[in-house]
Each structure stands twice: as C-alpha cells, then as structure tokens.
Structure 1
Amino acid sequence: MSVFKRLGLKQVINASGKMTALGASAVSEEVAQTLKEASQDYVDIDEIMELTGTVIAEVTGAEDGCPTSGAAAGIAISTAAVIAGKNLTHIERLPNSDGLKNQVIVQKGQQIHFGASIAQMISLGGGQVVEVGQANKVEAQHIEEAINENTAALMYIKSHHAIQKGMQPIETMIEIAKKHHIPFIIDAAAEEDFKLYIAMGADIVIYSGGKALEGPTSGFICGRKELMEACRKQYKGIGRPMKIGKEGMAGLIVALKQYADKATDVEGQLSRMKKLCNDLNGVSGLTCSVKQDEAGRDIYRATIEVDSKEAGMDAEDLLHALESGNPAIFLRHHYVNIGILSVDPRPLLKGQEDIIVKTIKLVLAQGVE
C-alpha cells in the first residue's frame, strides 16, 4: 500500500504530465534513499549549497549554479539577483527596488499563468514587468524600444503554456541582450536539455528539479558565476521563505548525477499510446491519435477528441468523472474547452494506461445509461 493510501488519501493515476499539482515526478530508488538518509543527519547548509552549485555547473556546462525550492522560486531569485546583486543592503529591502534598475522585459505572449503568474514571480524578486508587443506578435523592435536605463534583464519563458507563434526566438533575445549588455534570463522549467541554453549564450537558466530531471521537489539555476553567487546571496533576503532543505539538495545532487545515464524511452511511449488509441478508437464518440508535444519536446501523448453527441457527455464531464473516481485519473486538459483531452505516458506506472481505457469506457457506458 502506498504512503498516501495509508494516510487515507485516494490513489491518483497521473496521466497529465510532470505537474506540480500532482507531485511532479516519482524519484528513483537511489534518490529516495538519499532523501531518507539526508533527513536523518546534519550538514553545513552553506557548504552543501556550494557543492550543489558545483554539480549543477558540471551537468549544465555553466560556470556555477544555485539550488532552489522550485523553478518558480528560481524566477524570483534570479530577478532579485540581477537587481540587487550581492549588495546586502539592497538584498534586505527587496521586493522594494525603488531607485534600482528593476525593469524586466517579457514578450506579451509569454506573460502566462502556470499555477501562478510569471509577473508575480518577477515582482517577488523586486522586478517591474515590462510587456512588449502583442499576444500573438512581437517584433525585435518592440524589445529594443523598451530598453532604457532602468532595464535589469530580458526574460524568455520556454513553456507549452506560452504563445508558440509570433514571438521573437531565443537567439534574437540573446543578441539584443548582449548588444545592450543586459542579462538574459530563460525560464526553462520543464525542458529536458540542461546544456542547450547555456551553450546558446544565456546568462541565467532556470529549471525544475522535479520535472524532466525526475528529482525531488526542487529547482536549480545555472549561469555566469557572479550571477550565481548573487542568486545564492538572495537567501539572506527574499529567498529565505523559498529555501531548499538539506534533503532536497542531497536528492537533487544524486538526480543530476544520474541524469546523463537516464534513457528516454520514446519508442516505449509511442507504443503504449498507440495501443491506448487503438483501444479507444472503437468507442462511440471518441477519436484518439498520438501527437508530439506542443513546445517541440520529444514527448508523444495520446490526444482524445470527444464528440459530446456521440459519446453522451462532453470532454469536461468526462474529465470530472475521471478525477472524481478512486483511483482518481488526471488527464491533460489544456484544450478541454474544445473537446480535447490527452494522456501523457511519462508519469504512468506500468499498466495504468489499461486502467485509464477501462475506466473511460465504464464512465461513458454509465453516462449513456
């Protein structure tokens, strides 16, 4: 029996993805053992924080790194670092950044809500958000014209939530940042390539430790050494309520060291999702196909289109019924408003796709009756 069932909570089948709301990822045995051992011992926090930064640097190819409690904390801490630097007086008065360079330029189509808003995370770090362009169209000129003596950084949000068309690419943002000698920050929370953006020339890159890495609840920042030193310094200020504990850092170190040897079973994902689609395509009102991730990642999900007239209920009703059951089945529902649900194979434990098929058929049969 799982620990959550022992606590009286219902079983959850996560077919939504590596979502914070569902606990992000299930860690490996080695990471789990590390978390246990670290929680039962003591360590100098400053020392393990510096060690974690060194390991982050080794894995990402950056000059240095900083562990965080999550990617959202990474946005706030990175923002604070480019505004306050290592000046303790400035650090201690954030998020009040009056009189400091504090404007952070973000493309309008990337001003998203991921469970909280990007703007709020920037504000926590003392940043004043400057949106440029329109929701579906940003020109390089928009970015250039927004830069002034108060600009602290340019920020790019790499996310499936963001508008994928009409935005200026990372390369353009980096070029503009370098031209004006302004730090370029990229929030790459769920991205899988930990070396790509540093190699492209980003000054600060933010990742989740609990998503692609499949580590503990955590995050990490990588980038230029002086900026990473400034990030760590923010734990004397706004970073204090976002601090990561000894267990999180120890588990993050192990997960980072494992990452290079972790195989991504794309063929296995495709095979499981094709079978699921084959099983559902015979159900009245459902059309299922396998599609690649919207943001271009090497992730293949089963996309289920629900015809409410044929199925006897709409996609939203089906979603609610699945989430209300026990086990509670959570599907990806970004497009539920247009009748589309998706199954993400990455977080599924062995055989759970069969439970999903069986439960969907049962819910629809009961709905028709």
Structure 2
Amino acid sequence: MKGTMNTLYEDLGLTHAINASGKMTALGGSRLDDRVIAAMGEAARGHVVMDDLLVAAGRELARATGTEDACPTTGAAAGIAIAVAALIAGTDPARTERLPDTGGAPNEVVLQKGHAVHFGASVCQMIAVGGGRPVEVGAVNKARPEHFTAAITDRTAALLYVQSHHAVQKGQVPLETVVAIGREHGIPVIVDAAAEEDLRRWPATGADLVVYSGGKAIGGPTSGLICGPADLIAACRAQYGGIGRPMKVGKETVLGLVQAVRDYGTAAGAVDPEQQHARMTRLAERVDGLPGLSARVVRDEAGRLIHRTELTVDPEEAGRNATELAAELAQGQPPVFLRDHHAATGRLAIDPRPLTLQEEEQIVARLTAILGGARATAGPRGHGERTEAGRTPAPDQQDAQVTGRPAAGATPERAADADGTTTPAGPLERRLVVTEAAGLHARPAAAFAQAAGRSAAAVTVRRAGTEGGSEADTREVPARSVLSLMSLNIRSGEEIVLTARGEGAAEALAELAAIAAPESS
C-alpha cells in the first residue's frame, strides 16, 4: 500500500531489517508502540510555544524519575553535552552563548578510564562539545577513590559516572563512592544511565544530574532526558540558547517521549521478565543442537533485567565462525542483525526486545537453513575446507590456513598467502576512497565483515584522519563486526585505512578493497 513505511524504505532503496541485537541506534532505536506514534502524530498536526512545552514535559518526566525537574533532549549523548555545559555556564546568557569557549571558567570533568567509552561516539567528545575537558583517572580495569580525589582541583566542574554495558564492569569505583567524593568536595556528579531501565534508581543515589535515553529501555522515539534539581535543570534548558541549539528537540519527539514514559512500567508498556525468560528458553531449545550451535539463556552483563538467547558457535561443526555467521545473516534477505559484542570469542546473542514473533520465526528458519547442512559441506577444518573462491587449498597451504603455521617453505617471518606468495608477518596498510554507493552500511557492511571473517588475518578499519584529528574521526574497529562497521557511519567518498596483520594479510586487503571500492580495485 502506497504511503506505508515499508514502501518509503523501498522507495529509498532500503530493506526492512530484523533487529535481534537490542535497541541499537545504528538500527533505528526502538520499535514504537501505537500510542507513542499517535502522540507524535497529534503533535505534528498543530503548533505550540516550545519553551512552554519543554517546561510542561519536564514536569511530567520529573514525576516518573522522582526528581524536581527534567529536560527533554534529542538523545542521551546530547544530554551529556548539555549537562556539562549547564554545570560550566549555568543560566548566564553571556556564558552559555560563548561555549564551548569557557572563558576561563572551571571545566574539567573527571571520569574513570574504564568509563571513557565509545557508544557510537566518544563520551569524551560529548564532554568537549559541552565545553568540558575530560580528565581520565585510574587504569582501564582498576580505579580507586584516591584517583578521583587526586584529580579534583579548582578547575573541576563535574564528576561523570557511566552506567553502561559498554563500560568496564570490574575494578571500578562504585557510584555511591563517587557521589560521596563529589559531596565532600562540593563537585556535582553526572550519571550517564542511557540504556538503564529503572528511572528512579539512579537519581536516588544522590547524583546531581542523571541522563537517560528515551529510545532505549523506555521505548520512545530517538530522544533523551536529563533529570535533577530544579536549578540545575533550568541551567540545562538555558543551553538551548547556546550549544544545545543544534540539538533542539521537536514537538513530535517531546510528546512521543512523554507518552512512552507514561506507558513505561504500566500494563501498556511493561515487559514481564519471567515471560521474557520463558520466551528465550523456548527459542534456545529450538536452535540448540543445530550443527555447530549450542544455545542457552543469559542475563544482561551490565545487570539489567534482560534475558537473551546466547549462541555459541563451533567453527569446525558449523563451517564458519561466529563473525562469519553474523555476517551471513546480515547479508541475507531480509538482513538479520544479531548481537555480536562477543563474536571474537565465538558467542552471539538474540535480544528479544525489538523482535516480533514472526521475526523470531524467520531467525530460526535462517539459522536452520544456513547450518542445516554444515556438517556435510564443511567437514573438519583442513579437510575439504571451503575458501572464499570456492576452491580447496593446495596441500602445502592447508596447514597454514588450518593451524596458523607458515606453509611449507615459508619462514616464520614471511607467511604464505593463499595464492602461494609471501608477505611480511607485520601489519600491512591500504588507504582507499570508498566508492560503494551505500558506503560501509547495511549490506555492504555485512559483505565486508563476512569477507574479513573468512581471512586468517586480523583486519581493522578506520577513517583516514589527519594528525590532531578527534578520536571520533579516526576510531579503529574490527572489520569482522557488522555493528562496529555501521557505527562508523562511513559514506561513499570517504577515505579509509585498512590494516591487516598475520597470514593472508595482503589477500584480505585486496578482497576488502574490492568490496569497498570496486571501481578502483
């Protein structure tokens, strides 16, 4: 039917995707409830004084979080930048309008090194957007309270705590201690609780400002909110006359967020954990025992009450590793995206939150179709093993592909590639301009990751940045991860750098270049 969303996607040359990875920004966030869609439609049909709407919506959001006030935002990332700006500039128009130039005002934001995460952009970059200067303390996997106290100076504007599955979970200073340190030194504490489910738990810790995503657990449109005391929230709203202007939130998004928060935790929006666990148990039972696949139910690693079906892939039995399986699913029709955070260790996961029962059936069917004949076609590694060209490796090359040892006649310093040539074991780099029309997104990203997963070489991708470029410009990600590639948002015409290490490096670079830049390879 003309005018449906699927038709619009098709008109743009896009395909509906099955999202089994969670509420990911890279895949459009949440699937919206009809009530939320209706609220957004209501907002779209009329006008309102936006300042009044932001204040009224803030009062509604504050009731849900148990705080004095709240401020809607375009997302949690915007919320971090606005919160930092508010603590630096307050409500003074002269100061808000000159940010990110702080004019000498205290602007250091102290956070644990294990919390300096990249969630699609760097949290440290969001601090900088708000005029802050991030100060990382401790080691990645170990921080102590003394690290915070030693870093606090007269230049300190805030302490930041990141509550996220992206953050290191062990060896970190707990939030309660961070709040106590902030109180002792008179320094406000910001909590990034973007994907957290409990809207009252984190404000109740005594943190001054708490940032949530509206498009993750809450199930609203892509949006966010900051909650806290009235004076600090007034300072947050003041930033819409400064650095918050490019992040302005529309009336449709505000009403959609309000409706989602109203429904959240009620019969209209509640998720029964026991039912979710039972659903994932049934799914695990259906796919457990497919060739090369074992399945079990696991709980979210960051402690949220989310149950997923975890798939462990045996490469010998399945004829492919976890990264290759994820890429094969993502390259199909329709593309299926599993949660691939732990693909390097052979584990994938199916997140039930975005899935309809029909989509769940499609995933089972696809896994069965892909793995059903795996034993017959793959065989043990090194015996009739498939290669990317569909040919069997020569006998003197099978050892190198199967065991990682150099092929016969090659020295440890020079490993044999599949075509019999030798390349240095050290890293190889190739710079190229992406000419694939869709960039490294969706199906091109899936094909790219699948090709990288077939190679014995370890390949990474980054933008080609100049010296002094920001972290977000030149972040390096594994080429085998579809979601990591998509998070880079690399478009046609951008220059990238491929780095390959180990056996088959040169061949891997050539194959990946042919996918990303077919016209130049």
Could you state the TM-score of these two structures normalised by the residue count of structure 1? 0.97
Q: Would you say 1:352 and 2:359 are equivalent positions? A: yes
Distance 1:265 1:327 in 2: 29
Q: Secondary structure at the match of 1:78?
A: helix
Q: Partner of 1:308 in structure 2?
A: 315
Say if 1:5 and 1:11, in contact at 8 Å, map to a contact too. Answer: no
1:4 aligned partner, one-letter code: N
Distance 1:6 1:92 in 2: 39
Q: Partner of 1:3 in structure 2?
A: 5
Q: Secondary structure at the match of 2:235?
A: helix
CA apart distance, 1:252: 1.2
CA apart distance, 1:97: 1.8
Q: Partner of 2:248 in structure 1?
A: 243
Q: Partner of 2:334 in structure 1?
A: 327
1:227 aligned partner, one-letter code: L
Once the two structures are superposed, what CA deviation does each residue of 1:99-153 show, in whole Å capped at 9, x if it has no partner? 1110000100011110011000110000100000000000000001000000000
2:345 aligned partner, one-letter code: I
Q: Partner of 1:129 in structure 2?
A: 134
Q: Partner of 1:190 in structure 2?
A: 195
Which stretch of the first structure deviates more once superposed, 195-204 or 184-193? 195-204
Q: Partner of 2:348 in structure 1?
A: 341
Point out 4+ residue stretches in structure 1 off by more than 6 angstroms.
Answer: none
Say if 1:313 and 1:364, in contact at 8 Å, map to a contact too. Answer: no
Distance 2:204 2:280 in 1: 33
CA apart distance, 1:72: 0.5
1:305 aligned partner, one-letter code: T
Q: Note the residue ranges of structure 1 that are not aligned, 5 or more in a row.
A: none
Q: Would you say 1:107 and 2:112 are equivalent positions? A: yes
Alignment of 1:125-204 (within 5 A): 125-204=130-209
Q: Secondary structure at the match of 1:351?
A: helix
Say if 1:91 and 1:234, in contact at 8 Å, map to a contact too. Answer: yes
Say if 2:76 and 2:224, in contact at 8 Å, map to a contact too. Answer: yes
Say if 1:24 and 1:211, in contact at 8 Å, map to a contact too. Answer: yes
Distance 1:318 1:220 in 2: 37
Q: Secondary structure at the match of 1:196?
A: coil
RMSD over aligned CA atoms reads: 1.3
Distance 1:6 1:82 in 2: 42
1:180 aligned partner, one-letter code: H
2:310 aligned partner, one-letter code: T
Say if 1:39 and 1:246, in contact at 8 Å, map to a contact too. Answer: yes
Which stretch of the first structure deviates more once superposed, 65-74 or 193-202? 193-202
CA apart distance, 1:258: 1.6
CA apart distance, 1:218: 0.8
Distance 1:43 1:345 in 2: 37
| Bigger Rg over Cα | 2
Query: Once the two structures are aligned, what percentage of the paired residues are identical?
Result: 49
Say if 2:291 and 2:372, in contact at 8 Å, map to a contact too. Answer: no
CA apart distance, 1:351: 3.0
Q: Partner of 1:263 in structure 2?
A: 270
Distance 2:270 2:71 in 1: 26
Q: Would you say 1:217 and 2:222 are equivalent positions? A: yes
Which stretch of the first structure deviates more once superposed, 203-212 or 255-264? 255-264
Which stretch of the first structure deviates more once superposed, 355-364 or 79-88? 355-364
CA apart distance, 1:364: 2.6
Q: Would you say 1:13 and 2:15 are equivalent positions? A: no
Which stretch of the first structure deviates more once superposed, 162-171 or 21-30? 21-30
Say if 1:272 and 1:353, in contact at 8 Å, map to a contact too. Answer: no
Identify the structure with bigger relative contact order (alpha carbons < 8 Å, sequence gap 6+).
1
CA apart distance, 1:95: 1.0
2:370 aligned partner, one-letter code: V
Aligned residues: 369
Distance 2:237 2:57 in 1: 11
Q: Partner of 2:44 in structure 1?
A: 39
Distance 1:7 1:215 in 2: 21
Distance 2:276 2:42 in 1: 33
Q: Note the residue ranges of structure 2 that are not aligned, 5 or more in a row.
A: 378-521
2:51 aligned partner, one-letter code: D
Q: Partner of 1:119 in structure 2?
A: 124
CA apart distance, 1:260: 3.6
Say if 2:9 and 2:15, in contact at 8 Å, map to a contact too. Answer: no
1:86 aligned partner, one-letter code: T
Distance 1:199 1:266 in 2: 23
Could you state the TM-score of these two structures normalised by the residue count of structure 2? 0.69
